[in-house]
Structure 1
Amino acid sequence: MGLQRARWPAGYGRACDPRPSSWSVGVLLPGRHAGSLFPGGKRDPADQDVVHTALRETHEELGLVVPEDHVWGILQPVYDQNKTTIAPVLAGVGPLDPQSLKPNPEEVDEVFALSLAHLLQMENQGYTHFRKGSHYHYTMPVFLHGPHRVWGLTAAITEFALQLIAPGAYQPRLVISGLPRV
């Protein structure tokens, strides 16, 4: 797993605010009705690649302009239940106050940010087992923050990013039966 700059199939772009030099990383999480977190959406015909999709969606949903030269790269694509390709895009956005954002009320219910320190604290980490028949099929990470639970694909993408941003400081939770741990 690593960062790359490529043209993945149309899918969702994701952006977060990792700043490893200061270790005060924030992950931007705009809450939505469908329970999806992170800015993202389908690729428009005018988008050159998933990076442009992620930057456009981040601006449309949060009013946040992220220059293309702040993009670190693209994580390995993941797939949702409908087999839609999701290409997580990591970008540095510097110090960010969620109150300074202008969320689109038609797409975003709430915006909150989690620091790297918060995400790395064991008391803010959990996991959920999913069964298939009588045995566990896979285990997914869960990140806790007050009334918020970051889980599902959002938590998996966050976990992949943490493994790159803070290698050795985060113990992965994602386990899929029959597959090696990443």
Structure 2
Amino acid sequence: MLPDYLSAEGEQRCRRLLAEVTVRLRARPAAAAVLVPLCSVRGVPALLYTLRSSRLAGRHKGDVSFPGGKCDPTDRDVVHTALRETHEELGLVVPEEHVWGVLQPVYDQRKVTVVPVLAGVGPLDPQSLRPNPEEVDEVFALPLTHLLQAQNQGYTHFRQGGHFRYTLPVFLHGPHRIWGLTAIITEFTLQLLAPGTYQPRLAGFSLSRR
């Protein structure tokens, strides 16, 4: 039986593990931040995802992502950016005290820094949310038990100029394929929540070392 990831003990363990990096990264400027919403759907612990609008400009339209976006000059820090963007995209208000901490940053192909912010958003019905149709086509949740099953995990190899560059995780068999930075952040989250259960697909891999 899997542990209760939403328990007070589990939350405190995660907060302790994230405390040092949270203090350091909150004070460091970043280009963008996303919220990693840990929720409970009909009593089942899950992660909440969005499907980016197909009407958006750029190469990531129609991709699965966590709510978030570019840091605004008026944002106090990356936590404020993640909470503000979540409210703008989903209409979901997450109090700052519900933030568990900040995960290690990831970097896109242009070396833009994206900081993931983990927060517990409590019991939630994804269908009750009213996402901004200009930014989000769909909202869905995937149970942690689904994400932790080996048959739902995979990886992709990337080549550039005819040479192998790196490997990234992929999560399969949900409503939509989870890949790219969102899959990396999902992997970081599972490593934190289930260190004895989740076996990383990318042992020792970190985009921060690219």
TM-score (norm. length: structure 2):
0.76
Given that 1:141 and 1:156 are in contact with CA atoms closer than 8 Å, whether structure 2 keeps it comes out as yes
% identical aligned pairs: 67
Which residue number in structure 1 is paired with residue 69 of structure 2?
41
Larger proportion of helix: 2
The amino acid across from 2:183 in the alignment is A
1:114 aligns with 2:134: no
Deviation at 1:146, TM superposition (A): 3.7
TM-score (norm. length: structure 1):
0.87
Deviation at 1:24, TM superposition (A): 3.3
Which residue number in structure 1 is paired with residue 34 of structure 2?
14
Which residue number in structure 1 is paired with residue 104 of structure 2?
76
Given that 2:64 and 2:178 are in contact with CA atoms closer than 8 Å, whether structure 1 keeps it comes out as no
1:28 aligns with 2:48: yes
Gaps of at least 5 residues in structure 1 are none
1:143 aligns with 2:171: yes
Query: Residues of 2 paired with 1:171 and 1:94: CA distance?
Result: 26
Given that 1:9 and 1:85 are in contact with CA atoms closer than 8 Å, whether structure 2 keeps it comes out as no
Query: Residues of 1 paired with 2:35 and 2:168: CA distance?
Result: 20
Query: Residues of 2 paired with 1:69 and 1:145: CA distance?
Result: 33
**2:167 aligns to what SS in structure 1?**
strand
Which residue number in structure 2 is paired with residue 126 of structure 1?
154
Given that 1:139 and 1:173 are in contact with CA atoms closer than 8 Å, whether structure 2 keeps it comes out as no
The amino acid across from 2:32 in the alignment is Y
Deviation at 1:39, TM superposition (A): 0.6
Runs of 4+ deviating beyond 4 Å: none
Gaps of at least 5 residues in structure 2 are 1-16, 55-60
Which residue number in structure 2 is paired with residue 55 of structure 1?
83
Number of corresponding residues: 175
The amino acid across from 2:125 in the alignment is D
**2:141 aligns to what SS in structure 1?**
strand
Deviation at 1:12, TM superposition (A): 2.1
Which residue number in structure 2 is paired with residue 165 of structure 1?
193
C-alpha RMSD of the superposition:
2.0
Shifted more, 9-18 versus 92-101: the winner is 9-18
1:116 to 1:7, Cα distance in 2 relative to 1, 3 A? same
